[in-house]
Amino acid sequence: MLKTKIGKFELLRVFTVIFVVVFFVVAPIFGLVYGTTCALNFGNFALISPLELFLLPLGTKTFLLTWLVPSVTVIIAIIFFGRFFCGWICPVGGLLEYSHLLTDKKPRKNVGGLYNNWEKYAVLFAVLLAAYLFDFSAPYLFSPPGSVYRALVEIVTHGIMSIDLTVILLFFAVDLLAIRYGRSWCNSLCPLGTVISSFSFVNLFKPKVDQEKCIDFDFNCLNCERVCPMRIPVTRANRWMMMECNKCLKCWDQCPVDAIKIELFS
Amino acid sequence: MTERLNSLHITRREFLKLIAEGAAALGLFKIISLIPSPAQTNLVRPPGAVVEESFNALCVRCGICLEACPTKAIVLAGYEEGLEAANTPKIDAYSGPCEFYSGRCSREMKCSKYCPTSALRLVNKGQVKMGTVELDQSKCLAFMGQECVVCKEKCPVPTAITSINRRPVFHGEQCVGCGTCVYYCPASPKALTLKATGVRRVSA
Amino acid sequence: MSRRKFIATVGGVAVVAGVSGGILYEVFRPKLITELPRHVAPNAYTQNGKSLLSIVKGTSDTNVETMVREALDAIGGIDRVVSSGTRVVVKPAVLNNQPYVAPDPHVVAEVARLAMEAGGTVVVAECSGGGDTSYCMQVQGITSAVQAVGATVRYLNTESQIQIAVPNGVTLHDVKTFPTIYDCDVLISVPRLKRHFSPTPTVTISLKNMMGVVPLSEMNRFHNMGLSQCIADVNTVMKPNLTVVDATYAMARSGPDDGDPIEMDTIMASGDPVAIDLIGAQKLMELEQQHGIPTSDYPDYTNIAHINAAATLGVGTNNPDNITIVERNLS
């Protein structure tokens, strides 16, 4: 019963991701804004990625007040809007979702539950501990959106020959998983994603299922669960599982009986 | 499979698996961080950089300094500089001269102004030495009898390069390591390289 | 989408991109221009076959604009080369952002204003070799002075480059320059009288000023191929029709940026860049001797390589007998 049409929001999302990338690559030429997904500087104020709010003090063993406003601003946005970044801004996440187009197969069906998503806490813990023990700032380097943006910034500033081939290799390594499993990096490994979902307390714009219209148990539908890139069992999810929601709006689009609504507060 | 959708319980087996995975990741990071980075001592950092021990922990590899630099002197270090320093900013004098001493950044270093984490700081330019320039006489046009002392012409520090018998003489103690002479050197291959020797930086 | 179709699509896109890239490259590749720039012309400021050269001396109180007007008037006035509709480029020797290395902004502005008064459209252009041109000209005050009289400023380092032939060059057979310089009808060189620490070129006056109408990459090439001859070669195709030398302060003992600025209160003008370099070098040496600055490290003004090379190529004359000097004293 899977609707296979391209949802209207998918095009909008792809366009938004591309627009943001182009904007942050072109705007520095006019001095409007500098930076990548690791940190941005608009001249009068800066924004720092939330993962760094934890890694910086752990790595340097101090806390500088200049970090406070830039990172807390972002965290407040995350508290309200959840994993919006993952769905609408992160270029790697977007690419991972569509990597299954490289084969004839669809991504493997969600096996249900949060089982697959606990690994990321182990990774995050290891990352934080490594920063503290070894001063090893691994995520800055391996962060896929950071790497992509940095590579683009280098190309725009210094020309195409400055591109780091290892960035491309890393990109494809992460992508290989995605051909078979969709957003497995985002769900099971990404430490930035873990931090973001841990702060999504308020989480506006969540999908709400109208249980009377829903046909999943009667007709074994589960469309919403199948299309959800974050592997949330939409019809049965509790508030904690919903913190993974990246607002892609696919469940809303693909429900055959229009039982799902996106509400500001749920 | 036990139904666990309405609670946060995980089984003991899964918990142990988590611990094992975390430990494995930690071990991996430790191994990677041990990979020696011999090239690191030759990294010439942007002028406001803190001392090297703190720099890699403060820098979040955001690339802002790259974009803010008006001369395109800043590039990102590659993986050959070691994983600790990879993708951190360094000065490539072949790409552009650093104008912190004389030029567009002599009043305010743009890289330091925009750095969001204070890895680069606004410092008094008189206290900064980014590195020292070294001359390879076998490549220098003046030492081959050609009419060239461009390095001395472009050097913004009056006493760092002098000219004797139509040839440049380098006084390393006065050199501030801006790389201007390196950038303008007309020899191909260049006769000058900028090295991170005698560096003076602020502490974190 | 099947795998085969995906690979076929990617391959097709790559081929189309490659072919169109090749076509675009061929179309937009700079070609060698063999026609000489329009401003290359015989010296308009001659009398009885000799080059006219004016030297106007004032005091520290003399109005600089008045001195410029007198200097031009003494050789025949700017309207010998500029008339209604003439496209004029004024080329100041900016070099970098330090004081005293560039001509006085009022001198540059007055030359521009006089050209406009004679009916020309004036662009002040430069490609400085010692830093970003826009920044240097603004710090020197030249940009604001020139815009105040209504002329436009063009920073050549932001323009696209063209390549022109140097038919009479000894070392150079082609040189890169900018459309602004190539398309103008009249080129006016406005340098400061300065010593250069290197025995090549010894002095940097009008002939060396033409290093600022070529891109930086060409400056590299010249230093590799023999600078003095290259300066002379460039001046055969980038030949100023008029030179106004700012010697209100001259830089002596050393240069082009680390010498001593010594008050000289002089403005010189000529249509012959070789002659003005020669006489300028002579006056500089006299100034240094007056102030007890040793000059033995430098070749005598008659022995300066690029001046003699330019004379050999016919850019001007280095024979003092062929130069008529007109002196005016305004004190």
Residue B193 distance to chain C (closest CA, Å): 17
pLDDT, average across residues B132-142: 95
Higher local confidence (pLDDT), C239 or C8 = C239
Q: Which chains touch C (3 or more CB pairs under 8 A)?
A: A, B
Higher local confidence (pLDDT), C275 or A1 = C275
Judge whether residue C15 has pLDDT over 80.
yes
Alpha helices in chain C (DSSP H): 3-28, 64-75, 105-117, 133-140, 142-148, 179-183, 206-209, 216-225, 227-237, 273-290, 305-312
What is the pLDDT at residue C88?
96
Beta bridge mates, C266: C57, C247
What is the pLDDT at residue B40?
61
Judge whether residue B1 has pLDDT over 50.
no
Q: Cβ separation of A66 and B118 shorter than 8 Å? A: yes
Q: How far is residue C270 from each of residues A171, C123, C200, C278, measured CA to CA in Å? A: 65, 20, 23, 12
pLDDT, average across residues B149-167: 90
Quick one: CA torsion of B75, B81, B87, B89, rounded to 10 degrees? -40
Assess if residue A1 is contained within a domain.
no
Residue C193, helix vs strand vs coil: strand
Of the candidates A170, A77, A149, which has an alpha carbon nearest to the alpha carbon of residue B60?
Answer: A149
Of the candidates A58, A78, A96, which has an alpha carbon nearest to the alpha carbon of residue A175?
Answer: A96
Question: B69 and B96 in contact (C-beta within 8 Å)?
Answer: yes
Task: Provide the greatest CA pair distance for chain C.
Answer: 91
What interhelical angle do A165-181 and A144-158 show, nearest 10? 140
Q: What would you report as the CA-atom Rg of chain C, rounded to the nearest whole angstrom?
A: 22
Q: What is the pLDDT of residues A89-130, one digit of tens each?
A: 988 887 777 776 666 566 565 544 344 567 788 888 888 888
Which chain C residues are closer than 8 Å to A105 by Cβ?
none
Query: How much is the pTM?
Result: 0.87
Q: What is the pLDDT of residues A195-251, one digit of tens each?
A: 998 898 888 888 888 888 888 777 778 788 878 888 888 888 888 888 888 888 888
C242-257 burial, b at 16+ Cβ within 10 Å, e below that, comes to bbbbbbbbbbbbbbbb
Put simply, whether A218 touches C (Cβ < 8 Å) is: no
Beta bridge mates, C328: C56
Q: What is the pLDDT of residues B106-119, one digit of tens each?
A: 999 999 999 999 99
Phi and psi torsions of B60, nearest 5°: -100, 15
CA B113, CA A84: separation in Å to the nearest integer?
30
Residues 157-176 of B with CB under 8 A from C: 158, 163, 166
CA C94, CA C97: separation in Å to the nearest integer?
8
What is the pLDDT at residue B37?
61
Assess if residue A3 is contained within a domain.
no
Nearest CA in chain A to C7: A102
Q: How far is residue C251 from each of residues B69, C97, C131, C193, C259, measured CA to CA in Å? A: 33, 15, 20, 7, 6
CA A147, CA A117: separation in Å to the nearest integer?
23
Put simply, whether B110 touches C (Cβ < 8 Å) is: no
Judge whether residue A169 has pLDDT over 50.
yes
Beta bridge mates, A41: A34, A46
Query: Going by DSSP bridges, is the β-strand pair C323-329/C50-57 parallel, antiparallel, or unpaired?
Result: parallel
Residue ranges making up the domain that contains A55:
8-263
Q: Cβ separation of C3 and A103 shorter than 8 Å? A: yes
For domain C31-329, give the CATH number.
3.40.50.11440
Write out the two tokens for C190. Answer: 């406005």
Q: Cβ separation of A101 and C3 shorter than 8 Å? A: no
φ/ψ region of C51 (left if φ > 0, alpha if ψ in -120 to 50, else beta) reads: beta
Count CA atoms closer than 13 A to A157's CA, side-chain side.
Answer: 29
Question: Which ipTM score applies to this complex?
Answer: 0.84
Q: What is the pLDDT of residues C246-298, one digit of tens each?
A: 999 999 998 888 889 999 999 999 999 999 999 999 999 999 999 999 888 88
What is the pLDDT at residue A108?
60
In chain A, the number of structural domains is 1
Nearest CA in chain C to A99: C1
Question: A37 and A49 in contact (C-beta within 8 Å)?
Answer: yes
Residue ranges making up the domain that contains B184:
41-195
In chain B, the number of structural domains is 1
Write out the two tokens for C180. Answer: 């602004």
CA C176, CA C161: separation in Å to the nearest integer?
6
Residue B96, helix vs strand vs coil: coil
